[in-house]
């Protein structure tokens, strides 16, 4: 019975240590969650920005084409063509920068979530908020369920 009591006491000590450790990690877990949320929001904002910059680049391609046609008919100056080329080049550089930002954010999300390096899972859109869920959700239970699934 002494062995049994010692084992029970040992389990109680381990349980208390685990609970204390989990409680100590709670702020770090919450910060990690906020970081990941911010990364996801930034990722989707960049996707929206990319679509806009892509349309801008297409517009500048049309402007350049138009300026070239006008120049060939002596209705535009060489400076007009050069300005159109510069605008298109700037939009293309911006598009490359946005693409690099998207890749960096996707990588950062993967690192935070423990994805294997080189894996490129699809990141879906952020769902529209469900006001009923927001009003009735148990945030602490959701955090606990998510964190426990990772441990």
| pLDDT per residue as tens digits for the range 61-84 | 999 999 999 999 999 999 999 999
Mean pLDDT, the chain, whole residue set: 89
pLDDT at residue 143, as a whole number: 77
Greater confidence (53 vs 125) lies with 53
The percentage of residues in the chain with a pLDDT greater than 70, rounded to a whole number, is: 99
Q: What global pTM score does this model have?
A: 0.67
Give yes or no for residue 134 having a pLDDT over 90: no
How many CA atoms within 13 Å lie on the side-chain side of 94? Answer: 19
pLDDT at residue 151, as a whole number: 66
Give yes or no for residue 105 having a pLDDT over 70: yes
Rounded distance, CA 9 to CA 5, Å? 6
Query: Helix, strand, or coil here: 76?
Result: coil
Among residues 24, 29, 27, which one has the least CA distance to residue 151? 29
Phi-psi region of 74 (alpha: psi -120 to 50; beta: other; left: phi over 0): left
Q: Write out the two tokens for 102.
A: 């998207």
Rounded distance, CA 105 to CA 113, Å? 12
DSSP percent split of the chain into helix, strand, coil, nearest 5? 85, 0, 15
Tens of pLDDT, residue by residue over 20-42, are: 888 888 888 889 889 988 999 99
């Amino acid at each position: 019975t002494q062995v049994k009591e010692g084992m029970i006491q040992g389990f109680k000590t381990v349980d208390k240590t685990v609970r204390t450790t989990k409680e100590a990690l709670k702020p770090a877990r919450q910060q990690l969650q906020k970081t990941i949320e911010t990364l996801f929001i930034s990722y989707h904002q960049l996707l929206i920005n990319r679509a806009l910059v892509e349309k801008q680049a297409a517009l500048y391609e049309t402007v350049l084409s138009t300026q070239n046609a006008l120049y060939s008919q002596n209705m535009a100056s060489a400076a007009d063509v050069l300005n159109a080329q510069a605008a298109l080049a700037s939009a293309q550089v911006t598009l490359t920068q946005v693409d690099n930002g998207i890749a960096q954010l996707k990588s950062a999300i993967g690192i935070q979530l423990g994805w294997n390096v080189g894996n490129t899972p699809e990141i879906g859109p952020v769902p529209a908020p469900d006001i009923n869920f927001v009003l009735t959700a148990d945030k602490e239970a959701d955090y606990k369920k998510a964190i426990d699934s990772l441990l």
